[in-house]
Chains A and B, each alone.
Chain A
Amino acid sequence: MRVSPAVTKNSAARTRSLSHAPRRNLTQFVIAALLGCWMIAAVTPFIWTFLTSIKKTVDAFANPPVWFFEPTFQAYRQLWVDEGFTRYLMNSAIISLGTVFISISLGCLAGYGLSRYHGKAGFWILFMAFVFRALPRLTFLLPFYFIARVTGSFDTYTLLILVMVAINQPFTIWMLRSFFADIPDALEEAAMVDGCNRFQAFWYVIVPIMGPGIVTASIFSLLLAYNEYLIPLVLTATNAVPLPVAISQFGAEDIRYWSLSAAGGISIALPILLIVIFLQRYLVKGLTSGAVKS
């Protein structure tokens, strides 16, 4: 699987349409309106939650909804100061960044190897990784719970990071392999003729030009780790609890906590919103690399 260069370019010049007929304004309007409907469906829940998070508790569950209200950031203060949400943020940050660092380091080595080696073993590794990607997380998690209890590694960062690295490894090596495969062999061969060994050629020649690919794979790895719910739900109790598990235990059913939970939801979503806005190029590239074959 490869990314064709045409896909990754976002410039207007490459933008194509399926029709050559003169596109009338009315048609364009209808298209934009239809797309707009889905856009409203996509963002309304987030906007509504944001509004809820800056309402006073009494306004938050007013029925019919209150449209004009005095905004307050009380819920955020309560969340971060009184409820100590900072601790969960720290946990999430440590676990996610640790996972990204290890996943990508291992994934780059394996992905590069797989993109350059054409033997039978490479093929089977890729195929088995794909099969593993199809399996539910619980297949691996049940024994981890047992092992964690026995070895005393339950509820630690190390355990969570290792488990997430392993479970995301198949996806990571597939993606990185496809990016490495786009880089011509000639590059490192030239370096090796000049006296580099294979690893030096990889490190000094290939990795620097892989920058965008590594950024893309890192973002996906980060999202997977940051968003993960089931793994920490099973393997943490108090010490290493990350944001998604913390917010899920917040009592969303009790309407008295709506503003507070809404503030939590918005806080967790905020870093992701920033990624969507500023790193969209990489996200799209990563998403489409899996499907668009050359």
Chain B
Amino acid sequence: MKAKEFWVFAAPSLLIMVLLMVGPLLFTLYLSFSQYSLGGAAPRLNGLDNYATVLSDPAFWRAVSFTLSYVAIAVPLIVLIGFGLALLLTELRRGKRLFISAYLLPFVVTPVVGTMIVAWLFRDRGFYSYLLSLIGVNVQWLAEPTAARALIIGYGVWAAVPFAMLMLYAGMQAMSQDPIEAAIVDGATWGQRVRYVVVPSLQPIFLFIIMITMMDGFRLFDSVAIMTRGGPGGATTTAMYYTYGVAFGDQLLGRGSAAIVLCMIGILILLSPFLYRTYQDTVKQRT
């Protein structure tokens, strides 16, 4: 295709992305250097004040550290459980469709609804709280900091495992059968075949899943907003929930913009190895 034709095809989409994403992004940058509260006077530049305030706010660092621990715990669990289920599903002879349907539900259901119903189960008088009380576990899931954190992480894992599982399952279906047959001929056990043939050949998929679940982890908001409102005592406040609170709760749009710019920089730094890899893959694919 000629360059001229390409630009005609791409123009509408580019236009909307530049106007509604690049534009706002620059505006966020501008606001982050300004003093501006909702309903107050027009934005007024105030240098790095917003950044200084956010960086010296212990609540910001608490939110960042919970977000990072969420990612550090949830992502490995999602990948491991997803891989386990994908292996089992591959070995299953019949009924795959049924399992896939059931697994898809938590992943595609509206997060607000999923979060709400999981929270009910763990509330006082909730069904899971009741079941746990039968075996002598009495935890106030939404009132104790550690339990509330565990609940948020558990929900994230529950909702994202199907994604990891389906990706890996599809990868296993698409794998070339030859190396596996060669391994069988060489006498490799099932475990060895998984370790030395399956895992290496699925490496790009593993990386992709890790990258996507990391992105989703960094922007965790819905479940926190619905289930715990960041509590108890800020224990489950994520970086996004903190920013939302500053910008719309406290109505400090300028300071909120500084918080989001800091988050954005952090996210890009943490994701940079993956972004670089995608960059290389895209280069390879297009040449």
Contacts and interface: CB of A to CB of B under 8 A. Distances in A.
Chain B, interface size category, equals 35 or more
A18 B193 contact: yes
Interface in B106-138: 106, 108-114, 116-121, 123, 125, 127, 130
Given A63-B130, A166-B16, A136 B218 contact: yes
Q: What is the predominant secondary structure among interface residues of chain A facing chain B? A: helix
B278 interface: yes
Among B31, B114, B173, the most chain A Cβ lie within 10 Å of the Cβ of: B173
A131 interface: yes
A234 interface: yes
A288 B167 contact: yes
A64 B90 contact: no
B172 A272 contact: no
A15 to B, nearest CB: 7
A269 interface: yes
B31 A248 contact: no
A230 to B, nearest CB: 6
B5 A198 contact: yes
A42 B105 contact: yes
A183 interface: no
A58 interface: no
Nearest to B244: A138
14 contacts: A42-B102, A61-B125, A116-B1, A116-B6, A119-B6, A139-B28, A141-B24, A142-B24, A229-B112, A229-B221, A272-B110, A284-B166, A290-B208, A291-B171
In the A-B complex, the 4 residue pairs with the smallest Cβ-Cβ separation, listed nearest first, are A113-B9, A166-B20, A110-B13, A288-B170
Interface of A: 1, 4, 6-7, 10, 14-20, 23, 27-28, 31-32, 34-35, 38-39, 41-46, 48-49, 52, 61-65, 105-107, 109-110, 112-114, 116-119, 121-123, 125-127, 129-147, 149, 162-163, 165-167, 169-170, 173, 198, 202, 223, 226-227, 229-230, 233-234, 243-245, 247-248, 252-253, 255, 258, 261-262, 265, 268-269, 272-273, 275-277, 280, 283-284, 287-288, 290-293
